[in-house]
Chain A
Amino acid sequence: MTIDATMVGRSYAAAESYQVGREKIREFADAIGDPNPAYRGADAVAPPTFAFMLGSRALEQLLNDEELGLRLDRIVHGAQKFSYTRPIKAGDDIAATATITTVRKAGDVEVIMYETALTTVDGDPIATSTSTISHNRADA
């Protein structure tokens, strides 16, 4: 199967919520080389791009949809955007749902845009992540 525009609107919820811990935030801040004190300690908030990681369990579900026929090793990340309602902080328990918003085809390449809503487990909005990926179906 391959992805096409009729699949716009399909939604994939992460199987489990993501429990944000302050040590994970610190590890991530260290890994991006950012010494900002806001990312450390008991009241730590997460660096802005931490939000991308929170969508990965929803993305996993999307990639597992056999009808789309997508392979991770054929995907290039083209663009990324975040809108924040509030910062992500230690102690948050976050649910993620990814929805396909656009599918464009150019030969063997499929350009797919999907939006990931990050909310509390009660549904209060935290952030939205919009990703554009290119999937190349051509055999190398």
Chain B
Amino acid sequence: MIEVGTELPPLTVTLRREDLVRYAGASGDFNPIHWSDRMAAALGLPGVIAHGMLTMASAVRVVTDWISDPADLLEYGVRFTKPVVVPDDDKGASVTFSAKVDKVADGRAEIDITAVAGEEKVLGRARAVVRVR
């Protein structure tokens, strides 16, 4: 039974430069701010940053790991509030995702997702709506 306040199992993902290169290739997003320190610095960024869409893809895993049928995901949205800086080292950047059911009504559950890298929230208003059976 899905109830308001139910917490979904959290997930921590580590993003390294290699992961950004792989995502660039698979998604076709070759913006150099995701792989070149020089280009990232030229745009005033603190370093190479992860693709927002990669962070968004990682965040929804908390929900898709929890529902049994992927067809039950009805809506998913985020705001990209802070960039995830990915250093060129073995450690990379860790992002922890957690989620909680905020509302259940009319056969739908609304789930709030939180994404934290270091001490900062990197996504805002991250919310998924799933069908409840």
Contacts and interface: CB of A to CB of B under 8 A. Distances in A.
Interface of A: 27-28, 30-34, 36, 38, 45, 47-49, 52-53, 56, 72-73, 76-84, 86-87, 130, 132, 140
B1 interface: no
A98 to B, nearest CB: 16
Given A45-B71, A80-B52, A28 B27 contact: yes
A77 B53 CA distance: 9
10 contacts: A36-B70, A38-B70, A47-B57, A48-B70, A49-B56, A49-B76, A79-B77, A79-B80, A79-B125, A140-B43
A81 B76 contact: yes
B37 to A, nearest CB: 16
B23 A49 contact: no
Contacts of B25: 31
Interface of B: 13, 19, 22-23, 25-28, 31, 42-44, 52-54, 56-58, 60-61, 64-65, 70-71, 73-80, 125
B76 to A, nearest CB: 5
A75 B74 CA distance: 28
Given A28-B26, A34-B64, 5 more contacts: A31-B19, A32-B26, A47-B64, A56-B28, A80-B77
A102 B43 CA distance: 26
Contact of A83 (B54, B70, B74): B74
Nearest to A26: B26
Nearest to A36: B64
Contacts of B79: 78-79, 132
Contacts of B22: 30-31
B129 to A, nearest CB: 9
Contacts of B42: 140
- The 9 tightest CB contacts between A and B, nearest first, are A81-B77, A31-B26, A32-B57, A49-B57, A79-B79, A31-B23, A31-B22, A77-B52, A38-B70
B23 to A, nearest CB: 5
A76 B5 CA distance: 34
Contacts of A32: 23, 26, 54, 57-58, 61
Contact of A84 (B13, B52, B54, B74): B74
Contacts of A52: 27, 53
B80 to A, nearest CB: 6
